[in-house]
Structure 1
Amino acid sequence: MMNNGVVVVMVPFVAQGHLNQLLHLSRLLSSYNLPIQIVGSTTHNRQAKLRVHGWNRTTNANIHFHEFTTPEFESPLPNPNASTKFPSHLIPSFKASINLREPFTNLLAELSPKTRRVIVVHDILMSSVVQDVVLFENVEAYAFHSASAFTTFSYVWEEKGRPKLDDVESYMQLTNIPILQDLVPLDFLEFIMSHIDCKSFNSGNIHDTCKVFDGKFIEFLSKEGLSGSNKQWAMGPFNPVSVNKDEEYVSKRHETLKWLDKQGQDSVIYVSFGTTTTLSEEQIREIAIGLEKSGQKFIWVLRYADKGDIFKDEVRRLELPQGFEEQVEGKGLVVREWAPQLEILAHSATGGFMSHCGWNSSMESITMGVPIIAWPMHSDQPRNATLITDVLKIGVMVRDWESMSELVTSSSVENSIRKLMDYEEGNEIRNRARKLGEDVRKSMEEGGVTHMEIESFVAHITR
């Protein structure tokens, strides 16, 4: 398909999960011969390219990065003992992203006269950066929402005062979610509010989710006219649905994958809490004890949360109980670096994922048919966890959200692992997760619901 004089400009938010999703979407759209221009700071573009996995970004000639220098900002180190797990240390880097407004607008001024139409796909949290799209007649903006449609609709529903819905089942599921004010600090709420006035210039909404499991809530969003438009495209999963197996890629396989090759099917729990959470020493000790007592084989990614600039200053090391790694040798693997999560989840030996339920991790796990032990920390994560455990029934909670400010004990960790890996209930959950994964992967095939959503969006922007 020809690009028909259309260029797509991606403007991702600067947190890792958001960067990753729009880089994956760039890959999908570039396959339609659409030239993709990605706008970001030099640091965050480098971060996104370093961490992308599941495909080789160097083979995508249609993707071009515009790397702009932004002013220095003070970014404190993550505090593992903070009373809440929201990454407040990243807020300075979030706020610094407004400095991309001028270079972004200059790029539009350069592209607009040379192109029939410029399509701007921007993270909803970058709305202030792209607000000057209204100055150009041939520029259209589409808002990207980085969570499930269930979670995104829950924000709209909450803003309207949590009204009763005709769909009683959905209403009851939504009433289980915690209120937003309990999930993020006031200064981040203010940051969100600075970006919500985008209804005047958005032409539609893009979601990294799939109608196979989120279709009902996409319909709800269409009725609500989110961001001033009822046009909604559920084009997920953005992440690859199969792992790259070319010879060069396989020769450089990560140590975790080689270790998984030696394990039995569905025998390993993968443990990772994403890029924004740092655990306290006390909590790390409880997880370590719980993993050991469960008797389950595991891969545990144990890292500090990202700093505002991941390339600046030395990475600190989180300490395990003395002798732990020696005690679990052969049964468990502790990884202190970036791990190829998509490939780990795709491996036949991986039977469960203890996760913070960030939407990247959730979609990757759903895609690969891996059930989730849900341990949400902040932001959209508790709502994504509700979708996973209550709506889709492909996971179990470590414990109720109401108790999440308390220490999660080793017995809670052990019991949640045993519930998923040892009991009949876990087998039923695993079978549902496996079936859902198959259905989601099929949705990407020609004629599948996601494939048609992508085709619909491409047809719309190239009309």
Structure 2
Amino acid sequence: MAELLANSDDNGYKHNQVAVVAIPLPAQGHINPLFNLSHLIASYEIPVHFVGFVSHNRQAKLRAHGLDQTNSPVNIISFHDPPFTSLPSPREPNKTSKFPIHLQCISEVCHLLRHPTSQLLRALSAKYRRIIVIHDSLMASVIQDIKSIQNAESYTFHTSSAFTIFFTIWESIINKPFNLTSDIPKHVPTGNGCYSPEFNKFIANQYKLLNLSSGRLYNTCRPLEDKYMDLNTKLPANEKLKLFAVGPINPMMKASYKARSKNKHECLDWLDQQERDSVIYVSFGTTTSMAEEQIKELADGLERSAQKFVWVLRDADKVDIFKEDGLLKGHDHDQLPEGYEERVKGLGLVLRDWAPQLEILGHPATGGFISHCGWNSCLESLSMGVPIITWPMHSDQPKNSMLVTEVLRVGVVVKDWARRDELITSNAVESAIRRLMASNEGEGIRKRARELGNVVRKSAAKGGTSCSELDSFVSHITR
């Protein structure tokens, strides 16, 4: 542990009596926002230590979007990778759940971070007046030893929407502590079918330990979810805690697509040639793998819509993206209809690698987003003022879909969660695209999305609500 702390020089830090340790769930959708938050907190001249397995910390640095990592202020602390279980193909037939296999595997090894993290916290506690641990809500068991460290306190970081967090907890409460008002949705999707039984058990075990937390951080902003932040505040488990809405935690400078890195992605050149708001961006994140039949229906629907598109076609991440069997290049090439890419040349662009999503969504040519509704993707789209065609697959995505389409009214549904086991036909895909991009209803949705995007960006700017709440959080932990 001494060698890990050798790089933890606090010279020049404004708050050099306080150090922060950030611990994400080692999956892309959880790593990315906490990595960004770590850099935001470090900008207050507070030493921040980002903890994870070797491969996942490497992943965090490789996929950091819009962050200048030259002379990074965040001290990345990597522990040896565990012997990850050998996994079957993410498209294995006869699966009873679309919940990603690699997340299941990751949940089974997280406990291996407990001992080295505890050692790190104890070493830091001897060096600093106060240690602040910011941990993913699904990593509570890793930091449970904090209760024996007198000068340490922990804060839970929620990577889902405040809407989803509230209704997930509300669903589990038998004797409801208060009544919901009439403007709150009554038929929110339950957790049925969202996770594997094993992962549900993992979640339950983590949530049992959240009572160790001194507060909660939410990757959202008041203009988006003020009502649901207030409802979370009223929950019995949160009554004595401080709650902070500090999102969207993504590099907001990407709202201007012109602010590009030197290594410009090929798709941005293609987008430069398209008309404003004319392109549909299609991506299902890092946890979704589609069956070949569904890929072909989606491909046909995109072609028939005659709408310009950029489609990121790739398998879900593997548990270690750097292993040979985790490489994703070209994996889905043969699953497209024969001659498809030649036919859609000029109409659409198919990508098979990691794509610069923020830059694509921030490009003036992008007018809509077909998405699985992972919360990071929702926030990135909404902060850029881009409406969403929702296609939830698992986890928090069904609830996020309802938030986007029924509460915020900045999207349309192509796949309702109640029909999750059905094949989505090319007709349904074409219809959803035309509804958003070529109808009076769609024009209203796109206008609301643009207006909401302006409000969300202002919340993250200096003087905005999220910026103020982050200031408040920093003042609290450095008190």
Q: CA deviation at 1:162?
A: 8.4
What is the distance in 2 between the residues matched to 1:330 and 1:59? 41
What is the distance in 2 between the residues matched to 1:345 and 1:80? 32
Q: Over residues 21-49 of structure 1, what are the superposed CA-to-partner deviations in whole Å (9 max), with x where a residue is unaligned?
A: 10111121111111110010001101111
Which of the numbers 299, 302, 316 marks the counterpart of 1:305? Answer: 316
**Corresponding position of 1:283:** 294
Q: For residues 302 and 415 of structure 1, do their structure 2 counterparts lie closer, same or farther at Cα, with a shift above 3 Å needed?
A: same
Q: CA deviation at 1:253?
A: 0.8
| Pairs aligned (count) | 459
**Corresponding position of 1:340:** 356
Pair 1:396 & 2:407 matched: no
Q: Which residues in structure 2 correspond to 1:42-53 (within 5 Å)?
A: 42-53=54-65
**Corresponding position of 1:293:** 304
**Corresponding position of 1:326:** 342
Q: CA deviation at 1:229?
A: 4.0
1:54–1:343 Cα contact (<8 Å) kept? no
Q: CA deviation at 1:225?
A: 4.0
**Corresponding position of 1:64:** 75
DSSP 3-state at the match of 1:405: coil
Which of the numbers 358, 375, 380 marks the counterpart of 1:364? Answer: 380
Q: Over residues 392-431 of structure 1, what are the superposed CA-to-partner deviations in whole Å (9 max), with x where a residue is unaligned?
A: 0000000321111110000000000000000011110011
Q: Which residues in structure 2 correspond to 1:79-90 (within 5 Å)?
A: 79=91, 81=93, 82-90=95-103
**Corresponding position of 2:183:** 169
What is the distance in 1 between the residues matched to 2:259 and 2:462? 28
Q: CA deviation at 1:330?
A: 1.1
Q: Over residues 225-268 of structure 1, what are the superposed CA-to-partner deviations in whole Å (9 max), with x where a residue is unaligned?
A: 44674311000010011229899954311111111111110000
1:55–1:244 Cα contact (<8 Å) kept? no
TM-score, normalised to structure 1, is: 0.96
The more displaced of 236-245 and 186-195 is 236-245
| Amino acid corresponding to residue 311 of structure 2 in structure 1 | W
What is the distance in 2 between the residues matched to 1:229 and 1:40? 30
**Corresponding position of 2:154:** 141
Which of the numbers 170, 176, 183 marks the counterpart of 1:157? Answer: 170
DSSP 3-state at the match of 1:382: helix
**Corresponding position of 1:18:** 30
**Corresponding position of 1:261:** 272
What is the distance in 1 between the residues matched to 2:234 and 2:211? 18
Q: Over residues 255-299 of structure 1, what are the superposed CA-to-partner deviations in whole Å (9 max), with x where a residue is unaligned?
A: 111111111100000000011110011000000000000000000
Q: For residues 246 and 344 of structure 1, do their structure 2 counterparts lie closer, same or farther at Cα, with a shift above 3 Å needed?
A: closer
Q: Over residues 424-452 of structure 1, what are the superposed CA-to-partner deviations in whole Å (9 max), with x where a residue is unaligned?
A: 11110011111111001111222211111
1:145–1:205 Cα contact (<8 Å) kept? yes
Which of the numbers 112, 117, 120 marks the counterpart of 1:104? Answer: 117
2:137–2:157 Cα contact (<8 Å) kept? yes
Q: Which runs of 5+ in 1 are unaligned?
A: none
What is the distance in 1 between the residues matched to 2:468 and 2:369? 30
Which of the numbers 423, 441, 460 marks the counterpart of 1:444? Answer: 460
Q: CA deviation at 1:197?
A: 1.9
2:410–2:446 Cα contact (<8 Å) kept? yes
What is the distance in 2 between the residues matched to 1:210 and 1:2? 27
Q: Over residues 30-74 of structure 1, what are the superposed CA-to-partner deviations in whole Å (9 max), with x where a residue is unaligned?
A: 1111111001000110111111112222343x2011000032021
DSSP 3-state at the match of 1:334: strand
**Corresponding position of 1:240:** 251
What is the distance in 1 between the residues matched to 2:282 and 2:66? 19
2:255–2:384 Cα contact (<8 Å) kept? no
1:268–1:352 Cα contact (<8 Å) kept? yes
Q: CA deviation at 1:88?
A: 2.8
Identity %: 48
1:202–1:227 Cα contact (<8 Å) kept? no
DSSP 3-state at the match of 2:70: helix
**Corresponding position of 2:107:** 94
What is the distance in 2 between the residues matched to 1:399 and 1:275? 19
| Amino acid corresponding to residue 74 of structure 1 in structure 2 | T
DSSP 3-state at the match of 1:242: helix
Pair 1:415 & 2:445 matched: no
What is the distance in 1 between the residues matched to 2:228 and 2:54? 36
What is the distance in 2 between the residues matched to 1:371 and 1:249? 23
**Corresponding position of 2:132:** 119
2:255–2:362 Cα contact (<8 Å) kept? no
1:83–1:405 Cα contact (<8 Å) kept? no
**Corresponding position of 2:368:** 352
Alignment RMSD, CA only? 1.8
TM-score, normalised to structure 2, is: 0.92
What is the distance in 2 between the residues matched to 1:441 and 1:295? 32
| Amino acid corresponding to residue 294 of structure 2 in structure 1 | Q
Q: For residues 215 and 75 of structure 1, do their structure 2 counterparts lie closer, same or farther at Cα, with a shift above 3 Å needed?
A: farther
1:80–1:278 Cα contact (<8 Å) kept? no
| Amino acid corresponding to residue 324 of structure 1 in structure 2 | Y
Q: Which residues in structure 2 correspond to 1:419-430 (within 5 Å)?
A: 419-430=435-446
What is the distance in 2 between the residues matched to 1:157 and 1:362? 22
| Amino acid corresponding to residue 205 of structure 2 in structure 1 | S
Q: For residues 242 and 220 of structure 1, do their structure 2 counterparts lie closer, same or farther at Cα, with a shift above 3 Å needed?
A: same
